[in-house]
Amino acid sequence: MTDASALPGQPRGGPIDGTGTARAVCVLAPNPSPMTLDGTNTWIVAEPDSPLAVVVDPGPLDEGHLRQVIGTVERSGRRVGLTLLTHGHWDHAEGAARFAELTGTAVRALDPALRLGDEGLAAGDVVTTGGLELRVVPTPGHTSDSLSFHLPADGAVLTGDTVLGRGTTMVAHPDGRLGEYLDSLRRLRSLTVDDGVRTVLPGHGPVLDDAQGAVEYYLAHRASRLAQVETAVEAGHRTPGEVVAHVYADVDRSLWPAAELSVRAQLEYLEEHGLV
Ligand SMILES: [Zn+2]
């Protein structure tokens, strides 16, 4: 591992590294980019008195990062008991097999292709490793296999790429679907309204202390983008590329390929609902 990714004067990992809640702490992976923000957040989650920790999203295949995660767990007097994945994108899951090898743990994920060991993850499952309570919340839309993990003891939810700590996320068409994504945001909103969730522990970017505000912002942002796409189509912009250039003119061009996937998802949604 090098410090090459750190900004001048900024400690490696930046301000996100080491933040979290009473039971969750972030180890930031050294893979910053326009798509990954500061890098991937690997989360270590454990009950205060438990010798076992759960690791969510080991991150990219970066030996130094994986060993740093293990070192952080060991310095807290614990060992890794289980590895979970929020979804299969490489920046979250690529290092999972190597991490499982280093720690001797199983990997649980919604997608059977990502699992190591006998157990998957499904809606309603509760992970209880080391006395922890992590409730599996299906949140498809960014990808079809996206999950969130509700940590009721801390009033927190780990959202992977469904809600980010900064900016908004993409709907990765055709695997990701906008209708499912909006349903997932509403599911997360009900966690904030009905189940005491206050804190978002995202897959990228800083911890959010106003979970409900964040989810409301995401819903409003999606509605406004959808209206913009609808208007662009009505104005004669037909191809996804034309719609991106029109609607995402204010967004850095390095993000336009991702924006185009979101636009394709939005065009599909509008067509399915007979709106264009
Ligand atoms: Zn992703």
Q: What is the pLDDT of residue 231?
A: 95
Domain annotation covers residue 68: yes
The per-residue pLDDT for range 60-104, each reduced to its tens digit, is 999 999 999 999 999 999 999 999 999 999 999 999 999 999 999
Cis peptide, bond prior to residue 174, ω within 30 of zero: yes
Domain that holds residue 26: 2-211
Spatial distance between the Cα atoms of 257 and 203, rounded to a whole number of angstroms: 20
C-beta of residue 55 within 8 angstroms of C-beta of residue 69: yes
Of 17, 38, 91, 154, the active-site residue reads 91
What does pTM read for this prediction?
A: 0.92
Domain annotation covers residue 34: yes
**Structure confidence at residue 14 as a pLDDT band (50, 70, 90):** low
Domain annotation covers residue 274: no
The per-residue pLDDT for range 42-65, each reduced to its tens digit, is 999 999 999 999 999 999 999 999
CA dihedral sign of residues 163, 169, 175, 179: positive
C-beta of residue 52 within 8 angstroms of C-beta of residue 46: yes
CA of 86 to the centre of ligand 1 (A): 9
Domain annotation covers residue 42: yes
CA of 109 to the centre of ligand 1 (A): 14
Is 91 labeled as catalytic in the residue annotation?
Answer: yes
Question: Dihedral of the CA atoms 70, 75, 81, 83 (nearest 10)?
Answer: -40
Buried-state track 20-38, b at ≥16 Cβ within 10 A, e below 16 = bbebbbbbbbbbbeeebbb
Domain annotation covers residue 172: yes
Residue 155 sits in a domain of what CATH number?
A: 3.60.15.10
Spatial distance between the Cα atoms of 119 and 105, rounded to a whole number of angstroms: 12
Q: What is the pLDDT of residue 10?
A: 37
CA of 143 to the centre of ligand 1 (A): 7
Domain annotation covers residue 56: yes
Domain annotation covers residue 203: yes
CA of 49 to the centre of ligand 1 (A): 32
Q: Percent of the chain scored above 90 by pLDDT?
A: 88
Backbone angles phi, psi at 69, to 5 degrees: -60, -45
CA dihedral sign of residues 128, 134, 135, 136: negative
CA of 51 to the centre of ligand 1 (A): 30
Domain annotation covers residue 263: no
Spatial distance between the Cα atoms of 193 and 51, rounded to a whole number of angstroms: 33
Domains in the chain: how many in total? 1
